[in-house]
Structure 1
C-alpha cells in the first residue's frame, strides 16, 4: 500500500485556523470566480423564460469553509464550471466554522442586493433560506442537499445519499470479508464516522447499513460522530478508535473536512477507507479504495444550464439518485488497480440492480 508523503491533515488544520483567525470582525470570507463582478445585475428569470447567462450574478454561500476536498469543494467546482462554460458571474462567500454565524452571514450578503441568484445548501440552512426567500422574492435561490418545495423562488435538489451509501456499505462488506486484500482482518466489522448526528448524515448511515446487510447480514457497522464537519483531528481519532478497539478494517468518513482525518488514520494503520461526496481515491491510493460521490458539481452546473434555457423549475425540488446520475461510487484507475476483480464484478451487479429498481433502499428521511 502506498503512503502519502505529506500530511494532508496538517494542511487542513492550518487552513481552518487561518480562515477563522483571519475573519476579524466579519465571519465571512469571500472570493470571486474569474468572471465575477461585484455590481448588481437584473433580476433573474423565474424559470418561465430564458435567463441570459450574462444577466446572472450568483453568490455561492458556503456554510463552512472550502478546502474539504469533498462536498463544498465539489459545489465550488460546479460554480466554476458555470462561470467558464456558461458565462455567468459568480462570487463565493465562506461562512466559517461557527454555525451560529451562518444565518446572519447569509442574510448580510443577500441583503446587499448585489446578487440575483443565491446558491446554498445543507439541511442546516433550510429555515434561513426559506425566510430570506420570502423576504427577497426577486432573488432566486438554488438549494442543494435537501428539499425546499412550494417556495416560488427556490429550486432545490436532494441527492439520494441512502442509495449512494448502500453502494458504500455493500463495498465495505465485500472488503472486510475479502482474503485478497492484505489490510482486511477476519473480523466482520466496518466503520462509519459521521460529521454530526443529524438527519442527512443518518440517511448516509442507514444506506450504509442496508448495503452491508445486503452482502452479509453478519457484518457489524460501528458508528461515531465528530460533532462538526471541520475537526480533522477528531475525525482521525474516532476512525483510529474503530480500527484499534473495534477491529474495523474499512471506515466510511462522512464528515466533509473532518472526514479527511478519518482517511488519514486508516492509511496510517494500513487498512481501508471510503471517501465521500467527491472522488477522494487519489488522497491515499490503495487505502481509499473508492468514494461514494454526490455529484454536487454536476447538479449545480445543470441547474444553471436549465436556468439559462428557462427550464429550471423554481418552486419545486428533485431527488437525484443512481438512475439520474446524482450519486455513485468512484471507479477510476486506482479503483481498477487496488480493488480485486471479484469485488468490482459484484459492485457492477449491485449497481445494475439498483438502477433497474430490483433493489429498494429505504431512506431514513
Structure 2
C-alpha cells in the first residue's frame, strides 16, 4: 500500500512540471505575421514576453479560412495554454469549440465570445480614430480627406466613423472620401488595390488619407508618399515607414494584450476586457518621424480632445452599437 502511495505521489509530482510549463500559443490571422500592422503588433508582444521570461510559445500563421477550427483544436490538444488569436474572424469557430476544451483558456482580440474559458479583448477604435480625424482635418489644405478600409465589416466601420467624427468636429465643412478594399479576407493583404484606391482619392482632392486595412494599408502609405500627400497608419506605429509623410498612426495596444495574456498564462481571466483611450489601449503615435508635421496647435487640439473623450464631455459614437454613423 505504501509502495502504491509512493508511486502515485511520484506520478503526481512528475505531472506538475508539465502543467506548469504549458506553452502559450499565438495564432496570426490572414495577412501574415509580418504585416507591419495588426498581426505584427501581436508578434511584438509575444516576443517581449519571451525575451523577459525566457519562455517559449507556439505560433501558427493562417493560410486559409478553412484552417481556423483545425488550428485551434490542434493547439488545444497539444496542451497550449492560453491560446491567443488575432482577429474577429475567429469568433464563430471559437464559440463552437471552446466548450470542448474547458481546461484551456482562449483569448480573442477584436471580438466578444461569451464562454467561461474565453477572454475577449476589444478596443475603443472610435476614440483613437477620432484623434486621427482631428489631426487629418488640421493638416489638410484641400478640405478633403480620405479613409481606406480593408474588409468591409462593422469592425472597420468603427475606425471610419470615429475618424469622420473627429474630422467634422474640427472642420465641419470638410469632405471625407470612403473606400473599402473588398468583402472577403483577401482585402487585408492587397497592397496593390490599396494603392489604386489611394490614387483615386487623390484625384478627388484628398490630401490626407487614413488606412485601416492591415497589410493592404502598406500599399496605401506607399502610394501616399509617392503622391506627396500625408497618410495615417493603423494598429502598429507606422510613422517610420515613410518619415515625414505619415501624419500619425492610430495605435492599438495589441502587443500589450498578447504580452499580458502570456504573462497571466493559464490564470488569464475570462470575460470582456475593454482597451480604451483612458487605459492606453488606443492612442495616436507621436515620435521623431512625424514631429515636423505636428504643429503646437495640432498637439493642443489632440490633448483637448483626449481629455474630453476621457472625461465624457466628448461622446464618440461606436458604429457597432447600432450600425450607424451620425456624421454620414
Distance 1:135 1:233, change over 3 A: same
Mapping of 1:213-292 within 5 angstroms?
A: 213-227=168-182, 228-244=187-203, 246-292=204-250
Q: Deviations over 1:215-258 (max 9, x none)?
A: 111111111111210001001111111012x1100001101110
Aligned-partner Cα distance in 2 for 1:143–1:87: 24
Aligned-partner Cα distance in 1 for 2:286–2:70: 38
In the superposition, the TM-score normalised over structure 1's length comes to: 0.78
1:342 corresponds to = 297
Q: Deviations over 1:286-327 (max 9, x none)?
A: 11111000011012212333447x4x321x111111001100
Unaligned ranges ≥5, structure 1: 1-40, 44-51, 177-183
Distance 1:203 1:282, change over 3 A: same
Q: Deviations over 1:122-144 (max 9, x none)?
A: 22110111112111212110111
Distance 1:102 1:194, change over 3 A: farther
CA RMSD of aligned residues (A): 1.8
> Match of 1:229, SS?
helix
Aligned-partner Cα distance in 1 for 2:148–2:135: 16
In the superposition, the TM-score normalised over structure 2's length comes to: 0.86
Q: Deviations over 1:325-350 (max 9, x none)?
A: 10000011123223222212221221
Is 1:70 paired with 2:70?
Answer: no
Aligned length: 300
Is 1:313 paired with 2:269?
Answer: yes
Is 1:116 paired with 2:78?
Answer: no
2:125 corresponds to = 161
- Asked whether the 8 Å contact 2:221–2:246 carries over to 1, the reply is yes
With 108-117 and 340-349 compared, the bigger mean Cα shift is at: 108-117
1:20 corresponds to = none
Q: Deviations over 1:35-62 (max 9, x none)?
A: xxxxxx845xxxxxxxx5xx24111111
Unaligned ranges ≥5, structure 2: 1-16, 321-328
1:84 corresponds to = 51
> Match of 1:152, SS?
coil
2:11 corresponds to = none
Q: Deviations over 1:185-219 (max 9, x none)?
A: xx311111100110110111111111111111111
Larger radius of gyration: 2
- Asked whether the 8 Å contact 1:163–1:321 carries over to 2, the reply is yes
